[in-house]
Amino acid sequence: MTRYYRVLSSIIVFTMMGIGSFVLSKSFAEDEQNRKGQPIKSREQQESKASNNDLAKFMRGKLDASSQILDGLCTEDFRKIISGASKLQELSAAESWRVSTDVMYRQHSAELRGAVKDLLNAASKKNLDGAALAWTRTTLSCIECHKWVRATLISKG
């Protein structure tokens, strides 16, 4: 009889431990979600979030292409430079690039496209200095446009 109780009590203890760790892990998971701080949003907000995510993915693509270019410049690998610059050229010609029709925005876009074109030219002539110079113009145009976006588009909401 005591043996029976001992088995029973250990079953109960293990069950409690199981439930306990389940509850704990669930509350941790919820905590994790809360920490990510995603308040419940209206449908409209969620939709605009989706298009923001598309834009973010698109912009990340530019960043990937850019690091390939820098990689190529540092290792004097002109194929890498050309590959990254072509990607950047494609991306900057894409429809989703046109976040704003503002004159300044278009000018920043044109600046970037011009710099990327010079970068491609220099790289295809295996002109490292020319490519490096065009690259600094390219990155400056990234930064200038972002400065403009932050000051203008975002403050407008």
| Sites for ligand HEC among residues 25-54 (CB under 6 A) | none
| Distance in Å, CB of 21 to ligand HEC, minimum | 36
> Which range, of 13-21, 33-41, 103-111, 119-127, touches ligand HEC by CB under 6 A?
103-111
The Cα–Cα gap between 51 and 60 comes to: 14
Q: Which of residues 82-101 bind ligand HEC (CB under 6 A)?
A: 88, 99
Contact call for residue 60 and ligand HEC (CB under 6 A): yes
Q: Are 104 and 152 in contact (CB under 8 A)?
A: yes
For position 132 contacting ligand HEC by CB under 6 A, the verdict is no
* Options 85, 122, 134, 145; binder of ligand HEC; rule CB under 6 A: 145
Answer yes or no: are the C-beta atoms of 77 and 105 closer than 8 Å: no
**Which of 24, 143 has the CB closer to ligand HEC?**
143
Calculate the alpha carbon distances from 142 to 12, 38, 66 in Å: 63, 29, 10
Give 120 or 145: the residue with its C-beta nearer to ligand HEC.
145
**Secondary structure of residue 36 in the 3-state scheme:** coil
Which 8-state DSSP code applies to residue 152? I
CB contact at 8 A, 84 and 69 = yes
Out of 16, 55, 74, 93, the only residue in the binding site for ligand HEC (CB under 6 A) is 55
